[in-house]
Amino acid sequence: MLESLITTVAGAASATVGVLVGGLVTRRGQDRQWSCDQQLLAYQELLSHYARFTMVLKRAHADRSGWDYDWAEWSAVLTRVGLVAPAEVAREVDRFGRAVDRFLDRVAREVDTVRTPLGEAEFLAAGRR
């Protein structure tokens, strides 16, 4: 009888440990997947905003018109990426944000898109820098 009791308790304990370990492994995998999904969404949003405001600026130069953009949302996107990205990626995104700021100096802040717009070649050259 003692042998049966020990076997039963050992079986129940090993099953319990298995369930706990399985739960931890599953949870860790789900957390990793959630983190990857959040990173992907933030990166997509960042590139979407970048494409949107560069097109707004390019169109303003081509049409000799004014322009406007929600820079608060751009800053918020940079912050979101910094929060979910691995440290190395966050540093690169920070460098990218500073490069975009220099680009904006060349094509938006120091240039009047109505009176002295950039030509397409000048606009593209400013973006390459």
pLDDT digit string, tens, across residues 47-67: 999 999 999 999 999 999 999
**Which DSSP helix (H) or strand (E) runs through 1?**
none
- Amino acid in position 115: R
| Alpha-carbon torsion (118, 53, 126, 76), positive or negative | positive
What are the DSSP calls for 44-83, one per residue? HHHHHHHHHHHHHHHHHHHHT------HHHHHHHHHHHHH
Tens digit of pLDDT for each residue in 80-126?
999 999 999 999 999 999 999 999 999 988 889 999 999 989 988 88
